[in-house]
Each structure stands twice: as structure tokens, then as C-alpha cells.
Structure 1
Amino acid sequence: MKLITFTNKTGEERIGWLEGDMVVDMNLLDDKLPTNMLSFIDNHESYFKIISTHLNITPHYKIEEVKLLPPLPNPRSFRDYVAFEEHMLNASKSFGHPVSKDWYDMPIFYFTNHHGVYGPNDDILCPKHETNLDIELEMAVVIGKKGKDITEEEAGDYIFGYTVFNDWTARAIQRKEMTVPLGPHKGKDFANSIGPCIITKDEMEQYRCSISRQSHPEHLAMPPQTSNRFDLKMTAKINGRTICKGNYKTVHWTFPEMIQRASENNVTLMPGDILGSGTVGWGSLMENNFSVHRPLASGDEVELEIEGIGVLKNKVVL
């Protein structure tokens, strides 16, 4: 199921799901169903049972009759990881420092702005005086159940679904900030776009693949892992031109490993928390020193696509 948040013809915020190019409004289907995504995620097991009792559903709108919003406009928290080794190597080279050996010991994350969430077709305002505005092509997982000290083996039970994530980045600001060892700050918190939908975890199983953990030769001693990866094409376009083609299966640290890391030491994850995967290799302009495409400018249209989920499109404005 591809779940969405949208405004209807009268401007009311609603939730539902896509049936091809048609939209089902949950609350019009059954008034016991909620009108916001966070409430739905909080009690999704009960709500899915209600939905299952409705057969031969007739959609309520054509997709062009509604405005898609971020599928989860108000996540409870938003962590972002750096889980792809290729991106880590490229980024470290760009910033002029080696990859820390500790990166290979644990998945690393920072907290980003869970209030700065944008959806499909939203304009993204470039920070003042920023000269190297960049994109980051990522997938994100949405937590569906409360838990702490969750093991990697248990983590699948805590996943609600997945979405496309653009971790917009002000590289000029970030470059200064990263000289202080506290991670990214104002270079990251101005915009996080997600969408166009949240695909429920059951629909992702068709993409699950068995592949050993990918690593460069100097790290071949890493133990292999053969599950928890998905064979999903990931593509980034700017103004219609493809600037990156990647695949989620190349990820080094998987979502279950990220969930274990986030929840360890008695830390509680909540329904509606989001964890970003980090950028797929070559999924940002900085990795090519902006040679594939200049820094983003006003009017540029960015499209991030992940197979099975959809296309997240935004325009940059001043």
C-alpha cells in the first residue's frame, strides 16, 4: 500500500492511499479511520484491520485533484545515517580527510530537523548566501512501533514503511561547520523533503535480495551479511538530466542495524520516528566536486526516484 497525506478539493488535510493514479480518502471510506498519518501509524494494526473489511473500494479523487503533502508531515524525530561506503569515501575525499576506522564499527547518525519537512512539489528555499546548494539521494524508514534496545533480528517488527528522502545540504555552510567535531548543523536543518508516499513494508519484500556486505579491499575482514538489503534502483535528475544512478543493495549498514544502533542503551524509538539511510554512492553533487552539475540555483527542478516507491520532485527558489 502506498500511503499519502494530501489536501482535498476544499483544502482539508487528509490521509489515504494511491490506487494507480487515483486516491482513496481513508476517512471517507470509514469514519473510524483517522485523518492524519501520525495517528494512523500509532494504531496502524487496528486500522489495517478496518481497511481489510472494505472490499471493492472506489477511489474518491484523481491524483491531479488533490495536493500531495509530505506523507508524514510531523515525524516525532528524524535521524539521518551515513550508511553507504561509496558516499563516505567520496565525501571524505572532498572534505580532505580519511574515513574514520570507527565508521566500519558502527552505523553513524545525527539528528536533523523534524520540523523542517517538505513534500512532493514543494519549493525549497536556498539558505541566504549559500553558494554550494546540494542534494542527497536517500531512502528513509518509518518506525511503526515503540521499543528500546531493539536487536537487529527484531528490527523488522518495528518497521512501518519506507519513503524517498532528499537531505538538502548547504555545502559551503557545512564545510565550515565540519571543522568542529559536532557533526552537521545549519548546513542541514533548513529542509528535508520526503515522499511522494510511504510504501508499507510488506510491499518491499519483492525487492529483498541476498548479497554480501559490500566493502573496499582494505576492509574485507568485515563479516558478511546476506539479508536486509533491497535491490532497488535509485536515480537523481536535475532539470530532466540524470546525474546519478545507484542501487540500495550497495548499502553497507542496513536499516535493522541502524534501528539497533538508535535504540541501544535504553533509548526509546517511537511510532513516526524516521531514519534516513544516508546518500547512495554518487548521489550528491559534492562527490564529483560539482563537475557533473553546478551547485543548485533558483529554478532548478530536482527529481529523486526509488524503484517501487516513486518520484520526489522539488524546485529550488531564492
Structure 2
Amino acid sequence: MRFATVEEPGGDVRCGVVDGDTLMRLPAGTSVLDLLRSGTLLEAGAAADDPISLSGLRFLPPVDAPTVRDFVAFEEHVEGIAGVVDEAWYAAPTFYFTNPYALIGAHDDVAVPPGSHRLDFELEVAAVIGAPGSDLTPEQARHHIAGYTILNDWSARDLQFREMAVRLGPCKGKDFATTLGPVLVTADELEPYRDPDGFLSLGMTVAVNGTEIGRDLLSNMAWPFEDLVAYASRGTQVRPGDVLGSGTCGNGGCLAELWGRGSELPPLAPGDVVTMTVDGLGAIANTVVAGIGPHPIPAARRRSRHRPASPGPTTM
């Protein structure tokens, strides 16, 4: 099944099952996250029977994710960004937490973030958790994945690289927008794409203004999603609705990888349309628009290391 969450022309938010050009709506007040938490996603989807045309509806992120972990699971991407792949990368599937409040829909505009002049896209696929678990094995983790969707991890490269020089982050370089959509495709729908090694072999492409920039296979991940979920659950929990991104694919999955290989492609600018297509998952297309300037925040004070005795409280 293919679940969507939409905003109707009157502003009502509804979710349901996509059937061609029709949304079979679930009862008002129902959300995909609620269905995941109750373990009734497939049962509810099978009972959806309130059709409406998808024409004119705004696609919202299919699930209101409580957390978003983004991994870096494609070796070719890391090589393009860094030049060489550090041995530490091979030891475990690293991730960072990004901003769940910044999730946007499949066709929403993306504003250039304040202070950035090097806006970039990142072509990814994300798994959505359907059942809670902790300290899962990869075999167990497969049964905790409800489905998959397309993810664009928008990146302000100038902000990101400055922040990460402090050996922390990224923060403002990443948390302004993450596209999720257009639909949540249940895991069973994608089983025919699984290759002999257990990876989902989905074709992935990204284009800017109609010109293809990157193309890869999801099966070129270094770890399958089951491993990512198992690692994410180690010593903690994954819960229904949690989103786990694959990280950027290789072979032009983002501009920064191409810049690292000598490309002179320009950063994204207002008016650019970024379109991502993934086999079995559909397509998303977002337009870049102008943003606002940053409100100034002063640089840190450079403080003396001298520590005089505290003067104590002031008495009146």
C-alpha cells in the first residue's frame, strides 16, 4: 500500500491510501503516525473507502516523524566529499539526528537558509519504523520497518563545513528543510526489488531544472536498512514513526560530491527545481525560493583564563 498525508483546499489534513489518481481517505482525525503506533496501518488501509481526487491536493510528509536519523551509508558519496574514506567509516553505520520540525512535503518550496550561499540537495531513501524495539538484531529489525519513502536532506554547505570544523554538528547547515514523500510505501510492496544480497535494488535519479545530475542504485549502500535500524536501536529505542535516512547516494547524489571531484556546477539558487525519482517510491520536486538574511549574533567573547575570587552577592 501507498499511504499519503495531504492538505485539502479548505485546509483540512487527511491521510489515506493512494490508488492511481485517487486518495482513499481514512476517517478525519486519523494520522499515519497514530496507525503506526497502534499497529493497525495495513488493517486501516484495507478499509479506506472515502475517495477523493489527488488533483489540487498538497502532499505533506506522509508521517509526522518524532525523530529523524540520517546515516551516511554510501561509500562513493563519502569518497567524493572527503577524497579518501577514513577506516572509522567502515566500522559502523554513522548517523546524526536532524530536525523533525523542518520536514516539508513533496512539492513544497524550499527557502535558501539565512546566511547561506552554497545550497545543495541530497538524494536519499528513508525507512520508517512501524514497531518499537531496542537492541535489535538485523534479522529482527526487518520486521520493525513499516515502509519506505524518498528523502531530500537539503544542505547549506558553507554553514555545514564551518560548523563541523568545531568537531560538532552539523546544525544550521542541515536543519532548515528535509523533504519527505510523496508517499509511504509499505515494506511488502518493495520485496520484489530485493536482490540476492538482501539489498533493495531501487534506481535513484536527481535532476535540476530537468537536467539529470546524479543516478545510482539503492543497493549500492554499504549496509542494508536492517543493519541501520539495528544499530540505531543499540542501547536505546526505535519507535513507530521514526525516520532513518540512507544517506546520500553516490554518482552525483549531491553537488558537494561532484564539487569534490572537480565539477564547477553552481550551488542551487532561487528558481531552481530539484526533482528526485526512486523506483517504487515515486517522485518529489521542490522549487528553491529566496530566503531571508540572518539576524546578527556577535562572535564569542575571548575571555581571560584569570579567575579572581568571586566578589560574592551584592548587598543593599
Shorter-chain TM band: 0.7 to 0.9
1:181 and 2:167 are equivalent in the alignment: yes
**Any runs of at least 4 consecutive aligned residues in structure 1 with deviations exceeding 2 A, and if so which?**
47-52, 290-293
1:11 and 2:5 are equivalent in the alignment: no
From the superposition, tell whether residues 19 and 99 of structure 1 become closer, same or farther in structure 2 (CA, over 3 Å).
same
How much does 1:250 deviate?
0.6
d(CA) in 2 for partners of 1:232, 1:51 = 24
Structure 2 match to 1:258: 228
TM-superposition CA deviations, 1:179-215 (whole Å, max 9, x none): 12223111111111110000000001010002xxxxx
Structure 2 match to 1:116: 102
Structure 2 match to 1:76: 66
Q: Is 1:140–1:275's contact at 8 Å kept on the other side of the alignment?
A: yes
d(CA) in 2 for partners of 1:269, 1:171 = 29
d(CA) in 1 for partners of 2:45, 2:85 = 48
Structure 1 match to 2:241: 272
Structure 2 match to 1:133: 119
d(CA) in 1 for partners of 2:230, 2:43 = 28
d(CA) in 2 for partners of 1:302, 1:67 = 17
1:40 and 2:30 are equivalent in the alignment: no
Q: Is 1:25–1:60's contact at 8 Å kept on the other side of the alignment?
A: yes
From the superposition, tell whether residues 292 and 59 of structure 1 become closer, same or farther in structure 2 (CA, over 3 Å).
farther
How much does 1:58 deviate?
6.0
How much does 1:100 deviate?
2.0
d(CA) in 1 for partners of 2:5, 2:43 = 20
1:89 and 2:84 are equivalent in the alignment: no
Structure 2 match to 1:217: none
Structure 2 match to 1:220: none
Q: How many residues align?
A: 287
Q: Is 1:116–1:191's contact at 8 Å kept on the other side of the alignment?
A: yes
d(CA) in 1 for partners of 2:227, 2:123 = 20
TM-superposition CA deviations, 1:7-43 (whole Å, max 9, x none): 2243210100211111111117xxxxx5212111112
Q: TM-score, normalised by structure 2?
A: 0.87
TM-superposition CA deviations, 1:268-313 (whole Å, max 9, x none): 1110100000000020011111836310000111111111100011
Structure 2 match to 1:61: 52
1:246 aligns to what SS in structure 2?
strand
1:316 and 2:306 are equivalent in the alignment: no
Structure 2 match to 1:213: none
From the superposition, tell whether residues 173 and 50 of structure 1 become closer, same or farther in structure 2 (CA, over 3 Å).
closer
d(CA) in 1 for partners of 2:45, 2:116 = 47
2:101 aligns to what SS in structure 1?
coil
* Greater gyration radius: 2
d(CA) in 2 for partners of 1:279, 1:299 = 23
Specify which of 195, 199, 218 is matched with residue 209 of structure 1: 195
Specify which of 125, 145, 156 is matched with residue 142 of structure 2: 156
For residue 83 of structure 1, what is the amino acid of its counterpart?
A
d(CA) in 2 for partners of 1:65, 1:27 = 20
Structure 1 match to 2:300: none
* Identity fraction in percent: 39
Structure 2 match to 1:49: 43
d(CA) in 1 for partners of 2:37, 2:258 = 41
Structure 1 match to 2:312: none
1:147 aligns to what SS in structure 2?
coil
Comparing 103-112 with 251-260, which one deviates more in the overlay?
251-260
Structure 1 match to 2:130: 144
For residue 14 of structure 2, what is the amino acid of its counterpart?
R
1:236 and 2:227 are equivalent in the alignment: no
How much does 1:63 deviate?
1.3
Q: Any stretches of 5+ residues in structure 1 without a counterpart?
A: 29-33, 211-225
Q: Is 2:26–2:49's contact at 8 Å kept on the other side of the alignment?
A: no
Q: Is 1:285–1:292's contact at 8 Å kept on the other side of the alignment?
A: no
d(CA) in 2 for partners of 1:292, 1:308 = 32
Structure 2 match to 1:302: 274
How much does 1:59 deviate?
6.0
From the superposition, tell whether residues 297 and 146 of structure 1 become closer, same or farther in structure 2 (CA, over 3 Å).
same
Q: What is the alpha-carbon root mean square deviation over aligned residues?
A: 1.6
